[in-house]
Structure 1
Amino acid sequence: MQFGYSEACLEHDTGDRHPESPDRLRAIREGLKREHGVSYEEAAPADRSEIEAVHDEEYVEEIEAFCADGGGNWDPDTVATAETFEAALTSAGLARWAATEALSGSNGRRTPFAIGRPPGHHAVEDDAMGFCFFNNAAVAAQAIIDEGAADRVAIFDWDVHHGNGTQDIFYDRDDVFYASIHEQGLYPGTGAIDETGTDGAEGTTLNVPLSAGAGDPEYQYAVEETLSPLLERFDPELLFVSAGFDAHRHDPISRMRVSTEGYAMLTEQVRGIADRVDAGLGFVLEGGYGLDTLSEGVRTVHETFDGRDPIDVEGKINDSTRVLVDDVKTQFDL
């Protein structure tokens, strides 16, 4: 794979005890060190105009001034330093690079994956939260649409937390399909199945809030039964994956049971969907806070594109997931 990466993202230093630390990127680089076919690409930071296409101008100015004054705690979880503004612009720029590469035909072993930080999917139009300042996937999707490179973009968020920011930004838009499979009741508490879009965009938001303890069989079932048919119906030109790895069974801040091999399965599933709808496919890093499991997850995505076949998922789908998926399918007339 091609990995979008910049040292500027390491300068956003949240402190020794914060889970979203520069060590996340260092661990990913270390895990990929012995892998075949890995390349790293730098990208220009996002332009202010690209950020302000999805975020309020006053909010962007406020973040810039906050960082220029040395930063601090924006909220109890979201920490900024003097370097955070530039890192956030760079992280958004890397996401835009990945989207552009995907649409240009980079696929197979050249599939793009932006490994920037801070992450983005909790950032709403006018506020930072959940470790996120600018919504990287949203910036990338909007830039692609504004350039006329695509008319329809789909974002699939497999992070364990619901991407409330991405959903909010596109909730009344019929040209962006947002889908999230996440742990029910976890931060930020959004992402119910009846949140499906509004103001003419009904049916362009999909939420599958799985119960704590769900693992590989449940994720595979949810993708097969809901995401796959809905994306075939939506027919996007770009499928962008907000790839968090915090649903891993050994991640320290979630209760889900996805295995490392489960991420290979998810990768194979989204690749299959992209092939069926003839969409470009790209990835952007979100969460994942166990350094070993984060590194393993990203490496597994790479290995899947490098020719490694995922092992078949084993295990029984729990009854609560079947009921949930049936309810979701009713929402969408599937």
Structure 2
Amino acid sequence: MKFGYREICLEHDTGSRHPESPDRLRAIRQTLEDSEDVTYVAAEAASEAEVRDVHDEAYVESVRQFCANGGGNWDADTVAVEATWDAAMASAGLAAWAAEAALDGANGAQTPFALGRPPGHHAVGDDAMGFCFVNNVAVAAERALTERDVDRVAILDWDVHHGNGTQDIFYDRGDVYYASIHEEGLYPGTGDISETGEGPGEGTTLNVPFPPGCGDADYRSVFDVIVEPEFEAFDPDLLLVSAGFDAHEQDPISRMLVSTGGYGMLTERLATLADRIDAPLAFVLEGGYGLETLSAGVREVQDVLSGKDPEPVEGDPGEDGRNVRDALIYQGFGAQ
């Protein structure tokens, strides 16, 4: 794969006890060392104008000034140092690069994956939260819509936490379809099935709030029956993935049961869908806080896109997973 990466992202220092640490990127790179299909691209940082396209101008200036003054605790979870501003701009630029590279034809083993931090999907239009300052995938989607021949973008967020920021930014727009599969009740507490968009965006927000304990078969079922037909009907010109790996069965801060092979299954299905609907595919790193499971998940995505067959997912979805899927069908989502 082509991985977007900038050393400045390591300088966003959250402290020795914070789960979102520079070691996340170091672990990923170490795991990818022996792969022959890996190249790294040091893409340019996003511009302030691009960030203001998805965030309020006053908020952007307040973050820039907060970092220039040395940073500190924006809130209980979201920490900055002086270098955080440059890291956040670099991370957003890497996400935008991934979208651009996909639109320029990078696919298969060369599918772009932005390895930036801080992550982005919790950053709302006018505030930082949940370790996130700039909504990277939103910057990427907006650049594609503004600067390329792109009319519609679909975003699948498989991070275990609901991407409230991405939903917030695009909630009333019909040109971005945001779909999130996440753990019900986990931070930030948003992402209910009833949240489906408003105004021109009505019907272009899809939330799949799985109860704790759901795993590969539940994800496979909801992707096949709900997400895939929704995206196919939306007919996007670009498909972006907010790729967090914290739904892994061994991640320290969630209670979901997705295996490393489960991420491979989702990747294979996404690649097949992207090819069928002629929508370039790109990945943007979000969460994942077990270093081994995070790096194994990224490696699994890379291996599957380089030609590895994912492990078959055995069994049927559990009762909890079926109930969520069927509730979405009842609301009119998915294959009818």
Partner of 2:307: 307
Stretches of structure 2 lacking an aligned partner (at least 5 in a row): none
2:16 paired with 1:16: yes
**Inter-partner Cα distance in structure 2 for 1:180 and 1:51:** 22
Partner of 1:104: 104
Deviation at 1:326, TM superposition (A): 1.2
Matches within 5 A, 1:194-205: 194-205=194-205
**Inter-partner Cα distance in structure 1 for 2:263 and 2:15:** 29
Alignment check: 8 A CA contact 2:217 2:315 kept: yes
Partner of 2:286: 286
Deviation at 1:148, TM superposition (A): 3.4
Matches within 5 A, 1:1-334: 1-332=1-332, 334=336
**Inter-partner Cα distance in structure 2 for 1:62 and 1:125:** 13
Of the structure 1 ranges 88-97 and 265-274, higher mean CA displacement relative to structure 2 is found in: 265-274
Stretches of structure 1 lacking an aligned partner (at least 5 in a row): none
**Inter-partner Cα distance in structure 1 for 2:294 and 2:35:** 16
Partner-residue secondary structure (3-state), 1:200: helix
**Inter-partner Cα distance in structure 1 for 2:205 and 2:329:** 13
Partner-residue secondary structure (3-state), 2:119: coil
Deviation at 1:316, TM superposition (A): 3.0
**Inter-partner Cα distance in structure 2 for 1:139 and 1:200:** 20
Amino acid aligned to 1:109: A
Percent sequence identity over aligned pairs: 63
**Inter-partner Cα distance in structure 1 for 2:324 and 2:317:** 12
**Inter-partner Cα distance in structure 2 for 1:102 and 1:329:** 31
**Inter-partner Cα distance in structure 1 for 2:149 and 2:23:** 35
- For each residue in 1:31-87, what CA deviation from the matched residue of structure 2 results, as whole angstroms up to 9, or x when unmatched? 000112100001110001100000000000000110011000000000000000000
**Inter-partner Cα distance in structure 2 for 1:120 and 1:2:** 20
Alignment check: 8 A CA contact 1:103 1:149 kept: no
Partner-residue secondary structure (3-state), 2:200: coil
Partner-residue secondary structure (3-state), 2:267: helix
| TM-score, structure 2 as length reference | 0.98
Amino acid aligned to 1:101: A
**Inter-partner Cα distance in structure 2 for 1:136 and 1:268:** 24
- For each residue in 1:261-284, what CA deviation from the matched residue of structure 2 results, as whole angstroms up to 9, or x when unmatched? 111001011111111211000000
- For each residue in 1:173-210, what CA deviation from the matched residue of structure 2 results, as whole angstroms up to 9, or x when unmatched? 00000000000000000001111110122110000001
Residue-pair matches, total: 334
Partner-residue secondary structure (3-state), 1:209: strand
Amino acid aligned to 2:13: D
**Inter-partner Cα distance in structure 2 for 1:63 and 1:197:** 28
Alignment check: 8 A CA contact 2:214 2:320 kept: no
Moved over 6 A (4+): none
Q: What is the RMSD computed on CA atoms of the aligned residues?
A: 0.7
Amino acid aligned to 1:12: H
Alignment check: 8 A CA contact 1:203 1:332 kept: no
| TM-score, structure 1 as length reference | 0.99
Partner-residue secondary structure (3-state), 2:240: strand
Amino acid aligned to 1:114: A
Amino acid aligned to 1:162: H
**Inter-partner Cα distance in structure 1 for 2:328 and 2:316:** 20
Partner-residue secondary structure (3-state), 2:201: coil
**Inter-partner Cα distance in structure 2 for 1:234 and 1:272:** 16
